[in-house]
Protein backbone atom coordinates (compact mmCIF):
# COMPACT_ATOMS: atom_id res chain seq x y z
CA UNK A 1 0.00 0.00 0.00
CA UNK A 2 1.23 3.44 -0.83
CA UNK A 3 2.04 5.63 2.17
CA UNK A 4 0.02 8.52 0.76
CA UNK A 5 -3.09 6.35 0.41
CA UNK A 6 -5.45 7.16 3.26
CA UNK A 7 -7.57 4.24 4.38
CA UNK A 8 -9.81 3.25 7.25
CA UNK A 9 -8.91 0.61 9.80
CA UNK A 10 -11.33 -1.76 8.03
CA UNK A 11 -9.70 -1.35 4.66
CA UNK A 12 -6.25 -1.60 6.18
CA UNK A 13 -7.10 -4.86 7.96
CA UNK A 14 -8.66 -6.47 4.89
CA UNK A 15 -5.85 -5.50 2.54
CA UNK A 16 -3.24 -6.64 5.06
CA UNK A 17 -4.85 -10.06 5.54
CA UNK A 18 -5.25 -10.70 1.82
CA UNK A 19 -1.95 -9.22 0.61
CA UNK A 20 0.70 -11.40 -0.96
CA UNK A 21 4.35 -10.63 -0.23
CA UNK A 22 5.26 -12.54 -3.39
CA UNK A 23 3.17 -11.24 -6.27
CA UNK A 24 -0.15 -9.55 -7.02
CA UNK A 25 -1.21 -12.58 -9.05
CA UNK A 26 -0.77 -14.89 -6.04
CA UNK A 27 -3.89 -15.32 -3.91
CA UNK A 28 -3.53 -15.18 -0.14
CA UNK A 29 -6.68 -16.54 1.47
CA UNK A 30 -7.05 -16.13 5.24
CA UNK A 31 -7.88 -19.41 7.00
CA UNK A 32 -11.10 -18.03 8.51
CA UNK A 33 -12.37 -17.11 5.03
CA UNK A 34 -11.39 -20.48 3.57
CA UNK A 35 -13.04 -22.49 6.34
CA UNK A 36 -16.15 -20.31 6.46
CA UNK A 37 -16.88 -20.07 2.74
CA UNK A 38 -15.03 -22.98 1.17
CA UNK A 39 -12.40 -22.79 -1.55
CA UNK A 40 -14.63 -21.57 -4.40
CA UNK A 41 -16.19 -18.59 -2.63
CA UNK A 42 -12.91 -17.80 -0.85
CA UNK A 43 -11.15 -17.67 -4.23
CA UNK A 44 -13.88 -15.42 -5.66
CA UNK A 45 -13.76 -13.05 -2.67
CA UNK A 46 -9.96 -12.91 -2.76
CA UNK A 47 -10.05 -12.05 -6.45
CA UNK A 48 -12.51 -9.21 -5.74
CA UNK A 49 -10.28 -7.87 -2.97
CA UNK A 50 -7.20 -8.04 -5.21
CA UNK A 51 -9.05 -6.12 -7.92
CA UNK A 52 -10.20 -3.55 -5.33
CA UNK A 53 -6.62 -3.18 -4.03
CA UNK A 54 -5.25 -2.71 -7.54
CA UNK A 55 -7.80 0.01 -8.36
CA UNK A 56 -7.24 1.75 -5.00
CA UNK A 57 -3.48 1.79 -5.40
CA UNK A 58 -3.76 3.19 -8.92
CA UNK A 59 -6.10 5.94 -7.67
CA UNK A 60 -8.93 4.81 -9.94
CA UNK A 61 -11.38 4.49 -7.03
CA UNK A 62 -11.76 5.80 -3.49
CA UNK A 63 -12.24 3.70 -0.38
CA UNK A 64 -15.53 1.85 -0.40
CA UNK A 65 -16.30 2.75 -4.02
CA UNK A 66 -17.95 0.34 -6.38
CA UNK A 67 -15.71 -1.11 -9.05
CA UNK A 68 -16.30 -3.00 -12.30
CA UNK A 69 -15.04 -6.55 -12.73
CA UNK A 70 -15.93 -8.36 -15.93
CA UNK A 71 -16.91 -12.04 -15.86
CA UNK A 72 -14.26 -12.77 -18.48
CA UNK A 73 -11.61 -11.25 -16.23
CA UNK A 74 -12.98 -13.10 -13.17
CA UNK A 75 -12.96 -16.41 -15.06
CA UNK A 76 -9.39 -15.81 -16.19
CA UNK A 77 -8.11 -14.92 -12.70
CA UNK A 78 -10.01 -17.60 -10.75
CA UNK A 79 -10.75 -20.44 -13.22
CA UNK A 80 -14.36 -20.35 -11.98
CA UNK A 81 -17.31 -20.92 -14.30
CA UNK A 82 -20.09 -18.35 -14.77
CA UNK A 83 -22.36 -20.53 -12.62
CA UNK A 84 -19.76 -20.69 -9.82
CA UNK A 85 -19.28 -16.92 -9.98
CA UNK A 86 -23.04 -16.32 -9.71
CA UNK A 87 -23.29 -18.78 -6.79
CA UNK A 88 -20.39 -17.17 -4.92
CA UNK A 89 -21.77 -13.70 -5.54
CA UNK A 90 -25.18 -14.69 -4.17
CA UNK A 91 -23.63 -16.26 -1.06
CA UNK A 92 -21.65 -13.08 -0.29
CA UNK A 93 -24.66 -10.84 -0.95
CA UNK A 94 -26.79 -12.92 1.43
CA UNK A 95 -24.15 -12.53 4.15
CA UNK A 96 -24.05 -8.77 3.68
CA UNK A 97 -20.46 -8.73 2.42
CA UNK A 98 -21.13 -7.70 -1.15
CA UNK A 99 -23.42 -5.39 -3.10
CA UNK A 100 -23.64 -5.42 -6.86
CA UNK A 101 -25.16 -3.08 -9.40
CA UNK A 102 -25.46 -3.35 -13.16
CA UNK A 103 -24.90 -0.10 -15.01
CA UNK A 104 -23.40 1.65 -18.04
CA UNK A 105 -23.54 0.61 -21.65
CA UNK A 106 -22.58 -1.99 -22.53
CA UNK A 107 -23.86 -3.21 -19.20
CA UNK A 108 -21.23 -4.00 -16.59
CA UNK A 109 -21.52 -5.30 -13.09
CA UNK A 110 -20.08 -3.15 -10.32
CA UNK A 111 -19.08 -4.63 -6.96
CA UNK A 112 -18.85 -3.08 -3.52
CA UNK A 113 -17.27 -5.03 -0.67
CA UNK A 114 -18.46 -4.32 2.88
CA UNK A 115 -14.97 -4.06 4.39
CA UNK A 116 -16.16 -3.31 7.92
CA UNK A 117 -18.46 -6.35 8.06
CA UNK A 118 -15.80 -8.58 6.51
CA UNK A 119 -13.25 -7.48 9.11
CA UNK A 120 -15.56 -7.57 12.14
CA UNK A 121 -17.30 -10.84 11.38
CA UNK A 122 -14.67 -12.96 9.66
CA UNK A 123 -11.16 -11.57 10.10
CA UNK A 124 -10.98 -10.55 13.76
CA UNK A 125 -10.82 -14.19 14.84
CA UNK A 126 -7.44 -14.82 13.18
Q: Per DSSP, which regions of the chain are E strands?
A: 67-68, 98-103, 108-113
Between 10 and 90, whose confidence is greater?
90
Radius of gyration of the chain (CA): 14
CATH among 3.40.50.2300, 1.10.10.10, 3.30.450.190, 3.40.50.720 for 9-123:
1.10.10.10
The DSSP string of 74-86 is HHHHH---HHHHH
Tell me: the pLDDT tens digits for 77-124?
899 999 999 999 999 999 999 999 988 777 889 999 998 888 888 777
Domain boundaries, the chain: 9-123
Angle between helix 71-78 and helix 82-94 axes, rounded to 10 deg = 100
Query: Is the entire prediction scored with pTM above 0.85?
Result: no
The 10s digit of each residue's pLDDT in 24-37 is 667 788 888 898 89
Amino acid sequence: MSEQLKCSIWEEQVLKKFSSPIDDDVFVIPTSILTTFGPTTATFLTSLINKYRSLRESGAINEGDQFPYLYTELREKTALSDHQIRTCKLKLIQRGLLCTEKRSFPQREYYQINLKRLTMKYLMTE
